[in-house]
Structure 1
């Protein structure tokens, strides 16, 4: 099984940490390739650059499908371009927020989200509402870090996130906490793997791992002929509606393969 995990950033700065925190949790036979974007903005913290990034995500997803990957993970808690990518390609496409919110009840009755910075809070609240999970989400708050700074001091990010998780549980009654963005969660898990075992005492949801494990499951389902995504409406492909128009727009989604920064089995 081959899974492509796309860091939707125009930099390779975050590829290594994602590989390190996920490699030990892959099942035998799963190959994970961590990609990053080679065109477009470095980050998608703000709405305007995110629109440019989403176009590049579409191109990367198409490239991954053509390269024979069994599933595609969009490695950002915004789930950028998730609906659009599912419309475009036929392999399973997983968003970390959608998959984690869907499974949150299995970790605790109600949950909270600790994200990276203030700009992310309303964006994630909006997405949780779209996913129909807002009734069980008690709060969305930020730990106060931007992604460029996190990678320079992941241990401090992990420690501050641990403190914030304890605080939000105490104040809201949340039984479990979804840690996002994906890089905040990666910092947290990196600190845990490197010996800070107190971090494992709290009920936290790791969206990177949830997304990859969901990708493994859906890839299995697809191979068994059980990934029966509806193309009747929401995810209808343009090809089914107008093949001529689909051929006209297809060149917009073609690109060279993104840099394969890290590969692990």
Structure 2
């Protein structure tokens, strides 16, 4: 099967991150899985850009268009590499392949594995505030804890600059924040960032030391979720989504008309 990993930043600024993803995902993919990395043609080129809702909205449109193109290329499923689940629900209206949101699926898995879920997030207060709204929409039983998002102490510019070559340092920061979550009663930890998650996986961080609390890398989980969804489609004939209501697909002529309206 062919799985598309859809980054939410343009290719021009994603080279180092793709190398991290390859090191993280290649060892865990199924034997017959091919992973292709795709990018919006233009978009936000800094993590902090996503703290502005308008910038994130503009970026989302480009991500959705890239997902549409990925289907045309023959990919069997798409994983959107952002914990905001950027464009996931909108893209499901437009393509007939599974579109996996790493936030949505990680929360669902955590709800099956434990009772109280905490998120280790970025050192970005506004991003975490926006993330809370996404979390409320996606929550699947992991609501029983009020202090949900715990930021790491390391500013984003520092870990993005040095974290790739110092994964143990990043893992230590993540675990320090995770221990706060455990202190407040969480029995499941999700790393709330598509950049931090793979670095933690490369460092071998799977559990909070001295506890039995798992730490979930949403990117690795997203890949396995995409493979699972393709297998469900192939073996059971399950469609990617229900077209009855929420994910009704627009008529192709209406799609072309709106592309003209918005000069896309």
**Structure 1 residue ranges without an equivalent (≥5):** 256-265
- Residue equivalent to 2:162: 153
Matches within 5 A, 1:1-265: 1-10=1-10, 11-12=13-14, 13-43=16-46, 44-46=49-51, 47-116=53-122, 117-133=124-140, 135-138=143-146, 139-145=148-154, 147-154=156-163, 155=167, 156-170=169-183, 172-192=184-204, 202-224=213-235, 225-227=237-239, 229-239=241-251, 243-250=252-259
Query: Is the 2:40–2:65 contact (alpha carbons within 8 Å) kept by the matching residues of 1?
Result: no
The Cα of 1:36 is off from its aligned counterpart by: 3.0
Partners of 2:58 and 2:69 in 1: how far apart?
Answer: 17
Which structure's relative contact order is higher, taking Cα pairs within 8 Å and 6+ residues apart?
A: 1
Task: Output one character per residue of 1:166-199: Cα deviation in whole Å (capped at 9) or x when no partner.
Answer: 12211x1101100120111112112228xxx969
Partners of 1:228 and 1:82 in 2: how far apart?
Answer: 12
The Cα of 1:252 is off from its aligned counterpart by: 8.5
State the superposition RMSD in angstroms. 2.7
**Structure 2 residue ranges without an equivalent (≥5):** none
Partners of 1:22 and 1:254 in 2: how far apart?
Answer: 37
Query: Is the 1:3–1:70 contact (alpha carbons within 8 Å) kept by the matching residues of 2?
Result: yes
Counterpart secondary structure, 2:186: coil
Aligned length, in residue pairs: 249
How does the TM-score come out when normalised to structure 1? 0.84
In 2 relative to 1, CA 29–166 (structure 1 residues): closer, same or farther, beyond 3 Å?
same
Counterpart secondary structure, 1:187: helix
- Residue equivalent to 1:261: none
Moved over 4 A (4+): 144-148, 197-202, 250-255
Query: Is the 2:92–2:241 contact (alpha carbons within 8 Å) kept by the matching residues of 1?
Result: no
Partners of 1:105 and 1:2 in 2: how far apart?
Answer: 28
The Cα of 1:136 is off from its aligned counterpart by: 3.5
The Cα of 1:34 is off from its aligned counterpart by: 2.2
Query: Is the 2:38–2:70 contact (alpha carbons within 8 Å) kept by the matching residues of 1?
Result: no
